[in-house]
Structure 1
Amino acid sequence: MMWIGLAIAGVIIILALGFYAGRLLYQLKQQNQRHQLARDKRTAKIVESIQVIVKAMLQQQCELSEGAIRLCNLLEALPSASPPDYSEQYPKLYEFFHKVSGFAILDARAKLPKSERMRQDVAREQIEADYETAVLKELPALQAYCNTL
């Protein structure tokens, strides 16, 4: 008689644990779906930003150096399990980015003496002139890549 009581208690415990495990699995599935939705929204927002910047650069509504800095940072922020090597896909854009990213911006630029700001502006403009054609040629490929995401 005692064995039957223990068996019943064991079955009840196993059923309770099974129900609890099922509930935890369901909650995990919901959490993964929420994370995927958030990742998809983030990707869509970044892709939209990239497309707007590319369009502005192609229409010369945005300075080439500012656009390149923004594009490279956005590409690196794209959520992906195994992101491609963007510096290989868009070598001139990344080469240009590395050359212009060393210049002072915002508050650091405002603190510079006027002569240093002018020197940096001239140097940046020279780099932009050197890379303009090559960078603009890579932008349609970047646009096409964004359309696949």
Structure 2
Amino acid sequence: MMWMGLAVTGVVIILALGFYAGRLLFQLKQQNQRHQLARARRTATIVESIQVIAKAMLQQQCELSEGAIRLCNLLEALPSASPPDYSRQYPKLYEFFYKVSGFAILDARAKLPKSERMRQDVARAQIESEYETAVLKELPALQDYCDTL
């Protein structure tokens, strides 16, 4: 009789643990689905931003240096398990980005003396004129890449 009570207690404990494990697995599945959905939404938002900026650059509605900085940062923010080497896919864009990213922006630019701001503006304009054609040629390929995402 005592064995029977222990066996019933053991079965109840095993069933309770099984139910609890199943519940945890279900919650994990839901969490993974939410994570994938959030990742897909983030990717879609970033891709849309890249498309808009690239289009604005092609239509000369956006400064080339500002667009390059934004595009390179957005590309690096794309969620991917194994991201491609964008600097190899778009070498001129990234080369241009590295050259113009050293200039002061926003508050740091506002704090500069007027002569230094002018010097940086002239240097940036020279770099933009040097890279404009090459960068603009890479933008359609970037837009095509975004269409595949």
On whether the aligned pair clears a TM of 0.5, the verdict is: yes
- Specify the alignment match of 2:72 in structure 1: 72
- Which residues of structure 2 form unaligned runs of 5+? none
- Specify the alignment match of 1:93 in structure 2: 93
Superposition map of 1:6-21 within 5 A: 6-21=6-21
Cα deviation, 1:102-149, whole Å, max 9, x if unaligned, reads 000111111111111111000000000000011011100100000001
CA separation in 2, counterparts of 1:108 and 1:11? Answer: 69
- In the alignment, residue 126 of structure 2 is paired with which amino acid? Q
Shift of 1:92: 0.5
- Specify the alignment match of 2:84 in structure 1: 84
- Specify the alignment match of 1:38 in structure 2: 38
CA separation in 2, counterparts of 1:88 and 1:98? Answer: 13
- Specify the alignment match of 2:124 in structure 1: 124
Aligned length: 149
Matched, 1:112 2:107: no
- Which residues of structure 1 form unaligned runs of 5+? none
CA separation in 1, counterparts of 2:9 and 2:141? Answer: 66
Shift of 1:4: 1.1
- In the alignment, residue 77 of structure 1 is paired with which amino acid? A
CA separation in 2, counterparts of 1:3 and 1:82? Answer: 57
CA separation in 1, counterparts of 2:53 and 2:16? Answer: 55
Aligned residues: CA RMSD: 0.5
CA separation in 2, counterparts of 1:96 and 1:47? Answer: 21
